[in-house]
Amino acid sequence: METVDPVGAAGEGVHEGTQENAIGGAGPLAALRRALQDRGLRHQTAYRLPHDVPRIADLAFPELKVAVFLDRCFWRECPEPHLDERTDAGHWSEEAGRERRRNALSDRRLFADGWAVVHVWEHQDPRRAAEQIAEVVRDRALMRRERGAR
Ligand SMILES: [Zn+2]
């Protein structure tokens, strides 16, 4: 019995372990991750921030101490007029207010701990958001090099 010609089959397994190169999915976070990847910015997702800041950063560059939060327009009370009447509901704006105060407090703790905190809105163009993040990452990398050279 003849077997199938194996030529061309050898490379079939090559894609295993490279799936990090393909950021799938829809939604603003996936779009932002793809935009960052296009710029060659390697990042971590759902990064648990250290010690007294019990918070998960949507994206992080831990070595440079850059934390990125993708703010949901609804919860963070986006100033853009694209939000509908949902935000008028008293209960939800109260919740959003609590969330905002909590986040402001943990932002301050992060700053005190030497982290840079970047907030981007989910409605933002992912390429513009990635540009904003890239700027901070560049600054931090530069800062670290300068400090290291001293
Ligand atoms: Zn918005």
Structure tokens, 129: 């958001």
pLDDT for res 14? 40
Rounded distance, CA 121 to CA 71, Å?
5
**Which residues have beta carbons under 5 A from ligand 1 (an ion)?**
73, 78, 80, 121, 123
- The contacts of residue 55 (CB under 8 Å, 6+ apart) are 48, 49, 103, 106
Distance between Cα 128 and ligand 1 center (Å) = 14
Distance between Cα 7 and ligand 1 center (Å) = 52
Rounded distance, CA 127 to CA 102, Å?
28
The domain ranges of the chain are 25-149
Residues 97-124 have pLDDT tens digits of: 887 888 888 899 999 999 999 999 999 9
Q: Nearest Cα to 37, choosing from 147, 133, 103?
A: 133
Residues 47-78 have pLDDT tens digits of: 998 766 678 999 999 999 999 999 888 766 67
Fold held by 25-149: Endonuclease; Chain A (3.40.960)
Rounded distance, CA 68 to CA 120, Å?
8
Label residue 83 by pLDDT band (50, 70, 90).
low
Model confidence, pTM: 0.75
Rounded distance, CA 69 to CA 27, Å?
14
Distance between Cα 51 and ligand 1 center (Å) = 30
